Structure 1
Amino acid sequence: MDYKSISKDVIGHLYKAHHGIRVAEIDEKLVALAELRVAQLVGCAYCCAYHAGELRQMGFDQSVIDKIPGWRHSSAFDAKQLLVLEWTEALSTLSGDLEALRARLVEVFTEKEVVDITASISLMNALTRLRVALGDKV
């Protein structure tokens, strides 16, 4: 289903919001990392391929990208990346102690960065679910 054409206004606003996050103050590599992890959690094949390619273009080595699903058991990620991956999983599954994790985030990131990465993760959950539910299989 060509959901982007069918509901141009509604879906267009979602993609405009996505663009707004991408030009926000937070490191775009962290946003792309979170977006790929969301795509993996939701199981959107198109989104996984897209965001993995995006990370490669940003300079991530393929061996690091391959370790994202097992990030908890890898030394390939720095402290900020680990925190973003943990936040991504907690928000996407609504599990864990969100309040404690949010407190850890504000120790490392500005409040605006926390809002922006949270908005990015939330929006990516919506966009990946739209693609899985209404998009063509790739």
Structure 2
Amino acid sequence: MIDEERIHLSRTVPSAYEKLAAFSTEVGKVAKEAGVPATTAELVQLHASQLNGCAYCIRVHTKKLIALGESAERLVMLPAWRESGIYDERERAALTVVESITLIRDGVLSDREYRDVLDFLSVDEYAAIAWISVAINAFNRVAITGRYATEPDDD
């Protein structure tokens, strides 16, 4: 097996990556204006990254959640959020949305799930979380494709 560095998309075509980063910044503004808490936005991004197996983005969003004061318990329980009772209804609705978008090949939200989600999220919150989900899935694919480094951290 040849062990060589993969093409790093953000370095190879920086203009495209800059537009993706600008898109992500815009999505962050939309989320803030919609009233999506920063911790919820980060939980959504972390969970998508877990589902996609993106070690680089898992690290990035775990660090952001720690900086926001998120507990270790809530971080480690995220993959089992449906079985745990530690996420509130709005967070659970947001996690339902990100799973449906990240795992879209398995099917979109059923009509019942969609109605249930909208019991806890406003239209603006739903749209913001959906856009966050689209953005993080794009970043996951960029990082996974380029095998972005996730060597041990000194922190």
| TM-score, with structure 2 as normaliser | 0.81
Unpaired runs of at least 5, structure 2: 1-6, 151-155
1:25-44 mapped onto 2 (5 Å cutoff): 25=33, 26-44=36-54
Q: CA RMSD in A?
A: 1.6
User: Structure 1 residues 19, 97: CA separation in 2 closer, same or farther (over 3 Å shift)?
Assistant: closer
CA distances 1:17-76 after superposition (whole Å, capped 9, x unpaired): 111122222222211110000110110111111101111111210111000001111111
User: Structure 1 residues 101, 135: CA separation in 2 closer, same or farther (over 3 Å shift)?
Assistant: same
Q: Cα distance, 1:107 vs. partner?
A: 2.8
In the alignment, is the contact (CA less than 8 A) between 2:118 and 2:126 conserved in 1? yes
Amino acid at match of 1:50: V
In the alignment, is the contact (CA less than 8 A) between 1:30 and 1:84 conserved in 2? yes
Match of 2:14 in 1: 8
> Among the aligned pairs, what percent are the same residue?
20
In the alignment, is the contact (CA less than 8 A) between 1:52 and 1:65 conserved in 2? yes
1:101 to 108, 113, 116: 113
Match of 1:122 in 2: 134
Unpaired runs of at least 5, structure 1: none
Cα separation, 2, equivalents of 1:93 and 1:103? 19
Amino acid at match of 2:66: R
Q: Runs of 4 or more off by more than 6 Å in structure 1? A: none
Higher helix proportion = 1
| Structure with greater Cα Rg | 2
Q: Which moved more, 1:94-103 or 1:10-19?
A: 94-103
Cα separation, 2, equivalents of 1:20 and 1:61? 28
Match of 2:123 in 1: 111
